[in-house]
Amino acid sequence: MDNKDNFDLEEFANKMKQLPKVKDHRSKDEIFRNIQKQIKAAEPQKRRRPWLMPTLASATAAVLLLALIPMILSNGSEEALPYAEEAEAGEMFMVDMDEALEEATETTMEYTNYISAIIESNLQEDQRVVTIPFLDEQAMFIVPLSFIVRDDDTVLNQISSILEEYDPSTVGLLASPLEGVTMEEVSNTTVSVNIPQVPAGSANENMLMESIKSVIEPLGYERFNILVDGQRGVDIGSYGPVEEMSVTSAPSGYTAYENSTGRTFLVVGGLGEVTGLNFEDIVQLMTSVTSGIVIDTIETSDQAATILFGQGTELTIHEEALILVEAILLTAKDFKIEEVEFKNAGVEEFGPYQLNDRISTEISPNGIAFR
């Protein structure tokens, strides 16, 4: 008779009852998200690279579980020990992603439904931000998501790995237009971009090209070579036969988008036709779709801008005020403006920002914790 025939279910149940009680302080939404992650974790996945920062808490929980199972069964087996030792040894490569994101965004509970920006000055020395475009549920807008990664690999490699491993459906978004696209540096000014196939329709073609520009331009490159399934000079619909393209793209501002999960993101554009508009024009457009906030004047000079709100403005009473402030900062960044000063805001400190001084535009939209 083998060991499983000697298993005493009643004895097992009694030992389970003797374990210390554990109180779960998580919300129902957090528990549901964790269950979804566990289901997904059961599927075959590629090994993640160390710069993607798995959480220390996850590793600790795994070690604790491995330690509890032999105690419960009292079978003296040490088969789980190699896994436990591997997890402990790997802790030196692990960073608490939630903590890193909280430090970088300084978000407060008041804005939990809004996926706020990462403030790059709050990053640690060995961290940087990679921003990758995804699509809203109707595939109408580009939703840039920003990830904190370790500064120990090329950015192009990190972009490629995140595109392969991150599932945007966990936050209610569709796959990136860059899915299947590969990028390789040719020189310090040029990147070679290989597209598996030309997307159908001019809107999708434009979405793809703008997505490529959005990830390459911040890296300091000036242009990119275009290949379709390894071939240069292929006809790309409305663009015609194209071999290379500049990374320059006209700023189009940002608008708020709430998806079916209840999360609110900043999406690129959404303001209608903005070709030829300057920074002041686009900021006024963004303000016009924000209820109750008025901007009297906008001044720009020497890579700085000053926003003067209307008399009697109290930003703290407007639910969308933080979203507008970050949309303005990001738009200013797209226009190569380095600092923005907000005046007559009715408050000196708002969210993570000190409004009594100029604010750096070095922020990245929609900070996401990716384990």
Q: What is the full per-residue pLDDT of the chain (371 aa) written as tens digits?
A: 444 445 566 665 666 656 655 555 555 555 555 555 554 444 444 333 333 333 333 333 443 333 333 333 333 333 222 222 222 322 212 244 455 555 555 543 344 589 999 999 999 988 999 999 999 999 999 999 999 998 888 999 999 999 999 999 999 999 999 999 999 999 999 999 999 998 888 889 999 999 999 999 999 999 999 999 998 888 888 888 989 999 999 999 999 999 999 999 999 999 998 989 999 999 999 998 877 899 999 999 889 999 999 999 999 888 889 999 999 999 999 999 999 999 999 999 998 999 989 999 999 999 987 65
Instruction: Give me the residues paired with residue 129 across strands.
Output: 148
Instruction: Give me the residues paired with residue 353 across strands.
Output: 350
Domain identity same for 231 and 201: yes
Domain identity same for 261 and 364: yes
Whether residue 161 is contained in a domain is answered as no
Q: Determine the Cα–Cα distance for residues 93 and 63; give it in Å rounded to an integer.
A: 16
Domain identity same for 77 and 107: no
Asked if residue 126 lies in contact with residue 92, where contact means CB atoms within 8 angstroms, the answer is: no
Domain count, the chain: 3
Q: Determine the Cα–Cα distance for residues 314 and 321; give it in Å rounded to an integer.
A: 9
Among the candidates 249, 268, 285, a domain finishes at 249
Domain identity same for 138 and 268: yes
Domain identity same for 239 and 258: no
| 100-104 contact pairs (CB < 8 A, 24+) | 100/53, 100/124, 100/127, 100/148, 101/148, 101/367, 101/368, 101/369, 104/129, 104/148, 104/367
Domain identity same for 46 and 84: yes
- Domain of 194 in residue numbering reads as 177-249
Distant-in-sequence, close-in-space partners of 139: CB < 8 Å, separation ≥ 6: 174, 207
Beta strands in the chain (DSSP E): 118-119, 127-135, 142-150, 182-185, 190-195, 223-228, 231-232, 244-246, 254-258, 264-268, 295-301, 304-309, 339-343, 349-350, 353-354, 359-360, 363-364, 367-368
User: Tell me, what amino acid is at 353?
Assistant: Y
For residue 87, count CB atoms less than 10 angstroms from its CB and return exposed for 0-12, middle for 13-18, buried for 19 or more.
Answer: middle
Domain identity same for 245 and 258: no
- For the record, the structure tokens of 361 come out as 């535009």
Residue found by looking up tokens 């501002």 in the block: 253
pTM above 0.85, yes or no: no
Domain identity same for 67 and 207: no
